[in-house]
Every structure is written in C-alpha cells, then in structure tokens.
Amino acid sequence: MNMTKSRFHGWPQRMPSARWAYVNGEYLPHAMAGVHVEDRGLQFADAVYEVCAIIDQRLMDEEEHLDRLERSLRELEIPMPMARAPLKLVFRELVRRNGLRNGIIYLQVTRGIARRDHAAPSGLRPTLILTARPVNAAALVSRRQHGVIAISHPDERWARCDIKSTALLPNTLAKTAARRQGAFEAILVDGEGYVTEGASTNVWIVTKEGEIVTRDLSHDILPGVTRRVIFDAAAEAQMRITERKFTLEEAKSAREIFLTAATLGATAVVELDLVAVGERRPGPISQRIQGLYADLAQRRSVP
C-alpha cells in the first residue's frame, strides 16, 4: 500500500495514483493538498472561484472565464495571484497530470492567510487553488437528450450575486432541497415572484410566441460565461434574445425552459414544480442553442 504522511494532519494517508491539485505554486497529490487553517477563504468565504469545462483536452471559454475571474477579484479588491499566461500553463499541466480528456478545472482564489478578524487586512498574498476531475459524460448526454426536472425555491442570497464568490450556502441549501425532491436544479425566485437564476445555472425561457428570454444582467444574477457565449452564437445565427425579468408563472407556462452553465451547455427543463414544460421533452430552440453554443465554443478553444 502506497502511504505517506500528511503535512497537515500527521496521519498516514493513501496516495492517489493519478489525481493532482495545485496550491500556491506546488503540484500536490490531491489527498495532500490543503490550505492554512486561518486562510480567509476557509474562515469567511473571502474568495472567488471559476469552473472551466474540458472537452477533448481543450479548455472551453477559457478567456471568458479569466475575464470574469479578474472582474470578481477587482470587485473584492483581491489581486490576481498570477498573470494569465503562466496561469494558462498551470491549467494545461494540471490537465496533463490528471490525464483528463473530458472534465472540469476548478479554480479558487482567496484573499490569503491572516489572523482571524472580520476586517480584511491589506497586503495579503492571495491563495491560489486548482483541482481537476473527469465528468460523467454519459450523464451529460442523458440530461441533454431527456432534459431535467427543477423545483422553484426562494432566492435567499446576498445582494452581489454578480460576483462569483465561494459564499454559496443559500445555493447549496436550495440545491439540496431540489435533490431531496428528486429534481436536478432549484430555480430561484425573488420576493416579487421573478425568477433570478438557478442555484448553479442561468435560466432561460422560450415563450408561447417563440421569444427567447433570459434575465438581464444586474447585481441579482451571475454573468454566466456560457450565457455570454450563447449571446455571441445566437447573434451569428441571427437569433434574437430578450433580456428582461420574467415571473415563475410565466416560466411554468413557457413553451421551453433551459439552463446554462459551463458543465451543462444548454440543458432543457422538462418539469418545473411537478408541471410539465412543453411536451415534457427538450424543445427545438434549446436543442438549437446547445448546438450553436457547442460549435462556437469549440471554434474558440485552444489546446
């Protein structure tokens, strides 16, 4: 048995054969990777993150994810832990070390390590964490072919949902509630009855008149990278998208509903709160959007 001593706990641990992480300049076996007990990401969720899909060993929407990472860090006044060019090299080395063909890279940047105090001190060195893992390709294909089930849930998040913060407790509670009810996603609804987004997705509807609608960008929703690329792909195809608020009731009466995220592309919702959406199968618009998105994302990706 291949055992080693953890530098964090002092207990022998089994070494993984092919799983690697990256923490602050070091490539580490996944089971050995960790952060200081007083890292502000651990203590206060004082951190941001990104998730980038890997398809055929290519990172999808890489520049767009880095754009959003830099924006989130600026909003929280956390410096970039390293420049884009070396960070991209780390991405590719992590993909190589983990032997990934299809999967995800998870990146997290925290404000750094400091004695626990609510007020953030200046001059901290950010903590950079990256992990990578394969995805269940068969499950992704099944979701796209058959669609998913969703429930509605009150939106109880903070007022800056446009920042991709790791402070995700309301999201995790909503997602857990969905899973307990046999659903894939929780669609969040604000106090006025308007849909904001999903617990981990952006939400779109196709009205009975064929209008493609998604909520307009504001502090209320995350500016999704897949959302952004879909707008570009739709513009190429001369498909019009309307950005506006829509209610839960409008969603339930829509011809189609679909969700977008880095790990999903465009995936149809076929049932919401036990109400069938359309013909209870992925509709033609959501399927076309997925095809347009996949084509553009693949054309933009680089090895």
Residue 50 lies in a domain: yes
* Of residues 4 and 83, more confidently modeled: 83
**What's the number of domains the chain is made of?**
2
Residue 2 lies in a domain: no
Of 135, 157, 192, the position where a domain reaches its end is 135
Number of H-type helices and E-type strands within the chain: 8, 17
pLDDT at 303: 79
Same domain, 129 and 145: no
Q: How confident is the model at residue 8 (pLDDT cuts 50, 70, 90)?
A: very low
- Residue 91 CA neighbour count, 13 Å, CB half: 29
Q: How confident is the model at residue 17 (pLDDT cuts 50, 70, 90)?
A: low
Q: How confident is the model at residue 95 (pLDDT cuts 50, 70, 90)?
A: very high
Paired sense of beta strands 12-14 and 3-5, if any = antiparallel
Same domain, 181 and 275: yes
Same domain, 210 and 294: yes
Residue 10 lies in a domain: no
Residue 55 lies in a domain: yes
* Whole-number average pLDDT of the chain: 94
Tell me the per-residue pLDDT of 47-82, one tens digit each, with 9 for 90 and over: 999 999 999 999 999 999 999 999 999 999 999 999
Strand residue runs (E) in the chain:
3-5, 12-14, 20-23, 26-29, 47-55, 58-59, 103-110, 127-134, 148-154, 185-189, 195-198, 202-206, 212-214, 241-243, 256-261, 265-272, 275-276
Share of the chain above pLDDT 90, in %: 92
5 is catalytic: no
Helix (H, G, I), strand (E, B) or coil at 90: helix
Residue 6 lies in a domain: no
Of 106, 135, 164, the position where a domain reaches its end is 135
Residue 4 lies in a domain: no
Q: What is the CATH number of the domain that holds 154?
A: 3.20.10.10
Whether pLDDT at 12 is above 60:
no
Same domain, 39 and 95: yes
Domain span holding position 166: 140-300
Same domain, 149 and 290: yes
**Which pTM was predicted?**
0.92
Q: In angstroms, how far is CA 58 from the centroid of its own chain? A: 17
Say which of 5, 88, 164, 245 is annotated catalytic: 164
Residue 291 lies in a domain: yes
Of 135, 169, 196, the position where a domain reaches its end is 135
